[in-house]
Structure 1
């Protein structure tokens, strides 16, 4: 399966676009804890700041994934994994999304961020001045986009892979549309699948590539599986972050895919090689 993925990526030679994938079913059932997010809660009626909201989200996110990790490893090991990227800071720029209501609210990372006030919802027809991750982009996210994100923020489109044809991209306008390069998903729904990133993974990837690593880790840490995204893509993310522009991003992507395909082919060749003459003679003896 991996060889087919890499082969397709090599032959197409194009940037992989990002959308949030929302499947109809999951491979295994999971229970999601319900919480009441209305009211002042422990804040005593005062308005909570962003760090406080993020801290609450970390608890809620970890709880929703308890079933997936149950029965494996000690609680201390699980806690260490969840808090691996505690070092970070909230962004000083806007983070937004267009929500097409295609997804199950319990499974959508964008909806979870929205419930906690960590991402703003945009209306169809509303223009976003910052960087927007969309398939109508002509360039890839690169460190060159840092100033755009700094001044105007970043936005994503939350829609389903299965409903792209009915998604009104013309009503989600931006002067800075961008694509994401090849990355592997770490979210529980699409773990290990190329390019099928969740909202928070796409946002974090763009932040990381443009030099906002702390902000990327801060958002990922709100999900118990978030640290896995960086672990799976560390080599790629660092390579992309070291590029200067979209052209170099594409070169880094293709170089990585060619290397991965070559390594996979070599492993298969070693397995499929016929026995040498000396080996046959030894068997005859």
Structure 2
């Protein structure tokens, strides 16, 4: 674990008891937000359980059906702004399980009507900081809210975590690009374009000449 990851994790744990209060200025959530908890995560670090304690998420029974948009690896379409009506009328649900045990989790048994995948995003949570696509529950929920036009609600959910602002700092630009798309296909196209841009920039950074101090400068320093 890098020093940055360790500092973020320590900050999150230190503030876990102090930031459990909801703000009176928060916007009211007008649709259902739910999760299936497979009890695979550390309760002290689980963002889904914290949201449940704050009454921002409803915990579903494992075999319970959910009519709204479900974030699941079994989805065949990507979340897009065209899903706003589904979110507004039927809500959002997420699967809370360990990424290390994803293959052992009976996610397919949920059989959601509106299963969705998230596009490329980088995690900011203390466990998977900097890793592509390995988002926590709150990051997945907030990303879906942001893309479907509920940007203020997305920020409110992330604000319940000391590290939550980092998610928007890492992904704000690409989230805005996704939120300006029309449908799943255009989100995937924007995702691929973004990844190509990042890879091209990395190659340019590798090829860029580096400025080294002259011998006289080194001696004087």
TM-score normalised per structure 2:
0.84
**1:56 and 2:28 correspond:** no
> Contact 1:186–1:229 at 8 Å: present in 2 too?
yes
How far has the Cα of 1:231 moved from its partner?
1.2
Aligned match of 1:92: 30
1:129-163 CA deviation, whole Å, 9 max, x = no partner?
A: 00000011000000010000000100000011111
Which has the higher Rg, Structure 1 or Structure 2? 1
Alignment of 1:62-101 (within 5 A): 89-101=27-39
The 4+ residue runs of structure 1 with deviation greater than 3 A are 26-35
1:90·1:218 contact (CA, 8 Å) conserved in 2? no
Name which structure has the greater RCO, CA cutoff 8 Å, separation 6+.
1
* Equivalent of 1:235 in 173, 180, 192: 173
Q: Tell me which residue corresponds to 2:48.
A: 110
CA contact (8 A) 1:185 1:195 kept: yes
Q: Residue 269 of structure 1: which of 184, 187, 207 is its match?
A: 207
Structure 2 CA distance for aligned equivalents of residues 242 and 263 of structure 1: 23
Q: Structure 1, residues 96-149: CA drift from partner, whole Å, max 9, x if none?
A: 000000011100000111122210011111110000000110000000100000
Deviations, residues 151-180 of structure 1 (Å, cap 9, x unaligned): 010000001111122211133231000000
Q: d(CA) in 1 for partners of 2:102 and 2:129?
A: 21
Number of aligned residues: 202
Q: 2:138 aligns with which of 183, 200, 221?
A: 200
Aligned 8 A contact 1:110 1:158 in 2: yes
1:159 equivalenced with 2:97 (yes/no): yes
Cα drift, residue 188 of structure 1: 1.8
SS at match of 2:160: coil
- Asked whether the 8 Å contact 2:81–2:179 carries over to 1, the reply is yes
User: CA 1:231 to 1:34, structure 2 compared with 1: closer, same or farther past 3 Å?
Assistant: closer
1:251 and 2:216 correspond: no
Q: SS at 2:21's partner residue?
A: helix
Q: Kindly indicate whether the alpha-carbon contact (under 8 Å) linking 1:143 and 1:244 is maintained by their aligned counterparts in 2.
A: yes
Gap runs ≥5 in structure 2: 211-221
**TM-score normalised over the length of structure 1:** 0.66
1:172 correspondence with 2:137: no
Asked whether the 8 Å contact 1:102–1:160 carries over to 2, the reply is yes
Q: CA RMSD in A?
A: 2.3
Which residue does 2:73 correspond to in 1?
135
1:244-280 per-residue CA deviation (whole Å, 9 max, x = no partner) reads 00110011011111111111101111249xxxxxxxx
1:114–1:121 contact (8 Å) kept in structure 2: yes
